[in-house]
């Protein structure tokens, strides 16, 4: 029996890739909520513009990273989606050209992952700064809520980094094993 949760998740992600305005609208709505929750008398024009800008930058950054992955692997965006799906499921491509593209993709994503690890201390410092500001302006109760949220987000980020590192390492080993002594195989 096929795993319908995985296929429906992939259909959902495919739909989101075809409709980039949906994450933009979601980020805009969350930004509106956060900015109005912090400022009890918000300037709605400023809040709307900040929401639109933050959502636009998030979507543009994601699209830019996807184009760079596609360029580095030497494949089209549609082929990149297939490679990413294979990477997530741990399947080594059958064709030699696809294996080389997967190898290039794993090298690029490993480098990007290494940069994300280097940013963790700065992320922790920003979280501590938010906690200090919450304590100074709102008191200990809000500070505890901000600290709990910051710790939860930090734990989620760390978990995702470890899962991604494991996937990339497993694929790197599988690609090396599938080379089978072929010259140029890592």
Tens of pLDDT, residue by residue over 70-122, are 898 888 888 888 888 898 888 999 888 999 999 999 999 999 999 888 988 99
Helices 77-89 and 4-18 sit at what angle, rounded to 10 degrees?
Answer: 150
Amino acid 49: pLDDT? 78
pLDDT tens per residue across span 146-178: 899 889 988 998 999 999 999 999 999 998 887
pLDDT at 185 (0 to 100):
45
pLDDT of residue 40: 62
Q: Is the pLDDT of residue 1 over 90?
A: no
180: helix, coil or strand?
coil
CB atoms within 10 A of CB 22: 13
List, for residues 12-37, the tens digit of each pLDDT value.
767 776 776 777 677 777 777 776 66
Q: Smallest Cα–Cα separation from 75: which of 62, 85, 88?
A: 85
Residue 74's SS3 state is coil
SS3 percent helix, strand, coil of the chain, rounded to 5, is: 85, 0, 15
Average pLDDT over residues 122-135: 89
Q: Which residue has the tokens 């956060």?
A: 34
- 115-125 pLDDT per residue, tens: 888 988 998 99
Look at residue 110 in the predicted model and tell me its pLDDT.
92
Give residue 52's pLDDT. Answer: 77
């Amino acid at each position: 029996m096929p795993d319908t949760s995985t296929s429906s998740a992939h259909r959902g992600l495919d739909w989101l890739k075809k409709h980039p305005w949906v994450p933009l609208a979601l980020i805009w709505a969350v930004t509106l909520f956060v900015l109005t929750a912090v400022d009890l008398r918000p300037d709605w024009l400023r809040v709307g513009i900040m929401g639109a800008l933050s959502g636009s930058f998030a979507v543009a950054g994601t699209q830019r990273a996807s184009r760079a992955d596609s360029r580095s692997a030497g494949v089209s965006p549609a082929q990149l989606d297939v490679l990413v799906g294979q990477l997530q499921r741990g399947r080594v491509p059958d064709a030699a050209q696809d294996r080389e593209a997967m190898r290039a993709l794993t090298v690029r994503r490993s480098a990007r992952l290494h940069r994300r690890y280097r940013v963790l201390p700065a992320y922790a410092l920003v979280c501590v700064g938010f906690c200090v500001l919450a304590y100074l302006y709102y008191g200990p109760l809000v500070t505890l809520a901000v600290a709990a949220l910051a710790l939860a987000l930090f734990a989620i980020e760390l978990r995702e980094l470890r899962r991604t590192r494991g996937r990339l390492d497993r694929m790197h080993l599988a690609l090396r094993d599938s080379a089978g002594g072929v010259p140029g195989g890592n």
